[in-house]
Amino acid sequence: MVRNFKLLREKYLNSKAKMAQFRYFHEKMKSYSIHEDKKNNLKELEIGCGVTPMKDNYPNIISSDIEKSPYADLVIDAVNLPFEVKSIRTIYAVNCFHHISDKRKFLEESFRVLQDYGKLIILEPSFSLFSLIVYPFLFKNEIYNIFSSISQLKTIDPMKGANQAASFICFKKYPKIFLKGCGLKIQKIEHCTNSFAYIFSGGINFKELLPFKIIKRMMNIKFLSSFFSLHWIIVLEKE
């Protein structure tokens, strides 16, 4: 499945509501990163930037994608990172962890290139009542199956057959098995509070359903966020 980067980017840039959702995601994720050490001057890397690269809001972050894209600085497969040992301060992955072919190998590569106490910060579809209702019917080429095993999460085509519940399975259902010996530990899992705003913005792929002036009032609804979230942020730290 080939993504139409130009069309999706135009839809994104022409929608204040869509841009606000990813600004929220980017700011939340950046807030968990390690503060810049001017002495070491290590880089920050985004995996799977798509058409919403974090460098839109944080220009110093290196953007990458598995496909050639006008919005990616580098073409990178997340299971084979082209960086030296301990050369990266933070790795970000926005809505792409479930697409990665070998998720355990990605963690091993992240451990290799991250500095000591470096962070891997992942934004993914969450596990919630709202997610159970929405995600199984959202995309034809993806599933949301919380009953899959870790071995069933491997993908051949990054844009086909991905299980959007992968982060739940890896980090909530089987964390001891998945993380064993990888050198990374879970520091925090936080539900995002913009689920209703995200739905009415149409996300990246769908049409905006309400005017932005209404959507922006839904950006931070904290009431029962663990039940109504659509995304969560998982912060892993190198031990």
What CATH number is given to the structural domain containing 157? 3.40.50.150
Say how many domains are in the chain: 1
- The pTM for the full model equals 0.95
- Tell me the residue range of the domain where 109 lies: 5-238
pLDDT, residue 185, reads 98
The predicted structure's pLDDT at residue 178: 98
Q: Buried (b) or exposed (e) across 115-126, using 16+ Cβ within 10 A?
A: beebbbbbbbbb
Q: What is the pLDDT at residue 188? A: 97
pLDDT, residue 39, reads: 61
Residues of the chain with pLDDT under 70: 1-2, 36-40
Would you put residue 208 in left (φ > 0), alpha (ψ -120 to 50) or beta? beta
Query: What is the SS3 assignment for 3-51?
Result: CCHHHHHHHHHCCHHHHHHHHHHHHHHHCCCCCCCCCCCCEEEEECCCC
